[in-house]
Structure 1
Amino acid sequence: MTMIVGVHGIWNYGYYRPSRDAAVAAAAISADWTTWLHDGLAAARGKADAMPVSVAYYAHHLHRGTAQGTDVTQLDEDAQSLITDWVELLRETPVTAQGTRTIRARAAVDWLTTHYGEAARRFAMIFAKEVSSYLKAPADRRRLAARDAVAETIRTAARQDEAVTVVAHSLGSVVVYEALWAHPELRVDRLVTLGSPLGMPGVIFDRLDPAPGQRGGRPPGVSEWINLADIGDLVAVPRTGLSSSFDGIVSENPVLTIAKWDFHSVRSYLSCADVAEATWPR
């Protein structure tokens, strides 16, 4: 039997808030991922086996308060720079030629709102805040705590002496990439990254630990790496996929369509038949 480990992305602190217990939060998010992945398998094969997903929960380590509203002045300098650099990659042109960091960040989120709606503005604020919180420094306690939580969940799954598949969404792909490099003893039969920003130049790629240099590589304990991204996913930059920045990816589909409108949520990814086929053992 294959053990499936999930690694969540941003916007998951809500699982922790009611109980303030990471184990309870992990159980709740694992139940949701299991349901959504079963939906995807049912769409792909007409049935769903009762195989649970164990999600590594780390959102509480990155939480720095809940933002009220969508004004970029709520973001610190690093998060403002991150959101500006990210949107410039989406636009492929500078957001603005001059102005303070806050002015440039505000121009960036205004552009997102104009082109993708108010929901994109809210998402961008949360994305910038959580990604910045994680990437502050290689030795930052938040970063290390998140990586350790992911590594321990994978280690627990591997103790079952079964094959291990890791499914990592969004920021989760960054956390698991670093966790696997930090713990080369961990063995993963298949790594599936969904809507991954790992290759985002300047914003994430150049801040990875260990530093990838010109190109990154498949973590040492991973046998197979598959990357999937919806063609409209704003986080999966560059749009050409991760193979342009990383060696060792055996398969990827950067032109996947997981949903008509909701092109980044983990629910849409896991419920997609193509994603389920790539994730579940044959």
Structure 2
Amino acid sequence: MQKTVNGGSMGGLKIVGVHGIKQGSDATTAGLSASWQATIDETLAAAPESGAGAVITVPSYQAVFPRTPTRYVRLGGSETGFLSEGRAIDEEEEAFILQALAAYAPSTVEDESPEAGLTLGDGHLTPRIVRRVQAVDRKIGKGVTGRLLWFVREAHAYLRKEETAVAVRAAVAEALADTGAHMVIAHSLGSVVVYDMLSRGEAPGVTMLVTCGSPLGWLAGRKGIHSGGERLTVPVGVKWANLYASKDFVTGCVGLSQLAPGVTDIEVNNGTFPPAHDVHRYLDKPALVELIAKAGTA
């Protein structure tokens, strides 16, 4: 294994990582970069024959993201106070949430009886959302939907709030410019951010994209960066590999290749949800070593 400086490999391929939601209030660029780097170093050390080395920078965009209860809660953490501090759900966001959760349970399986004033945890939800939550819980497991709702609300904040999206993309673009990286590893909502940037021509130097735990295959919010029902487009000159876990509900438990011809899907075993969505369970896979090695010789 290569010697390290400040927790990262000395020399090696430059990579920019783009994180997902709920990183914690102390998740600075330095902290996120060191955390991802440590896992990648261990993964590369387990396959010394690959000769791969990498230095990853993960820019934190938490400072520009709207304050919501989800902002300071890690995925799979306590549900105490769920939505209780957050903004009220308006009609537009309600429609977004219902459309997103329809990927797991269509409206036809809902109990349509009136249920005004119901809550999930400590947070008030609209009756329609409550019915959809109950339908999803019946189909894929009680409690899963609460964690998905955290994700869906922050995805909505990115896709529907232009000032937020611009600031997030700017943070990633700055890291790409500073590092000169041609490879990006994007996790969860980060894959939406990077796809948005590539579609806008805001990441011209990127030639290798690795998405992990991506919701692009089902997220209703693709409407904000992509016309619903159309195929995703792999940008010219970009090789795109997508790691997904069959029990990672954020991905819809499927890959992207059917919706995005040209994407190479790689199924991995990350255990059960919510840990299955954890970024480090994607970063520790041998498949990533092969992708880093290929990018380093390209």
Scaled by the length of structure 1, the TM-score of the pair is 0.79
Structure 1 equivalent of residue 204 of structure 2: 186
**Structure 1 14/56 Cα, relative in aligned 2: closer, same or farther at 3 Å?**
same
Structure 1 equivalent of residue 132 of structure 2: 108
**Structure 1 212/219 Cα, relative in aligned 2: closer, same or farther at 3 Å?**
farther
Alignment of 1:80-159 (within 5 A): 80-91=94-105, 94-96=108-110, 98=112, 102-113=126-137, 115-118=140-143, 120-137=144-161, 140-158=162-180
Give how far 1:27 is off: 0.9
Structure 2 equivalent of residue 22 of structure 1: none
Structure 1 equivalent of residue 284 of structure 2: 271
Q: Are positions 1:236 and 2:251 aligned together?
A: yes
Give how far 1:231 is off: 0.7
C-alpha deviations, 1:19-76, integer Å up to 9, x for none?
xxxxxx1111000010112222234458997632101221222232326623699552
Q: Aligned letter for 1:258?
A: N
Identity of aligned residues (%): 28
Residue number among 202, 207, 210 corresponding to 2:224 in the alignment:
207
Scaled by the length of structure 2, the TM-score of the pair is 0.75
Instruction: Give secondary structure in 2 for the equivalent of 1:153.
Output: helix
CA distance in 2, matches of 1:154, 1:73: 34
Instruction: Give secondary structure in 2 for the equivalent of 1:56.
Output: coil
**Structure 1 32/90 Cα, relative in aligned 2: closer, same or farther at 3 Å?**
same
Structure 2 equivalent of residue 53 of structure 1: 56
CA contact (8 A) 1:195 1:236 kept: yes
Residue number among 36, 41, 44 corresponding to 1:38 in the alignment:
41
CA distance in 1, matches of 2:57, 2:243: 20
CA distance in 2, matches of 1:279, 1:204: 30
Give how far 1:269 is off: 1.0
Number of residue equivalences? 261
Give how far 1:93 is off: 5.8
Instruction: Give secondary structure in 2 for the equivalent of 1:217.
Output: coil
CA distance in 2, matches of 1:51, 1:184: 23
CA contact (8 A) 1:193 1:227 kept: yes
CA distance in 2, matches of 1:189, 1:10: 25
Structure 1 equivalent of residue 122 of structure 2: none
Q: Which runs of 5+ in 2 are unaligned?
A: 1-11, 71-79, 117-124
**Structure 1 63/279 Cα, relative in aligned 2: closer, same or farther at 3 Å?**
farther
Give how far 1:113 is off: 4.9
**Structure 1 116/272 Cα, relative in aligned 2: closer, same or farther at 3 Å?**
farther
CA contact (8 A) 2:50 2:289 kept: no
Q: Aligned letter for 1:273?
A: P
**Structure 1 279/82 Cα, relative in aligned 2: closer, same or farther at 3 Å?**
farther
CA contact (8 A) 1:95 1:107 kept: no
CA distance in 1, matches of 2:102, 2:229: 22
Residue number among 213, 231, 252 corresponding to 2:265 in the alignment:
252
Aligned Cα RMSD in Å?
3.0
**Structure 1 10/279 Cα, relative in aligned 2: closer, same or farther at 3 Å?**
farther
**Structure 1 274/192 Cα, relative in aligned 2: closer, same or farther at 3 Å?**
same
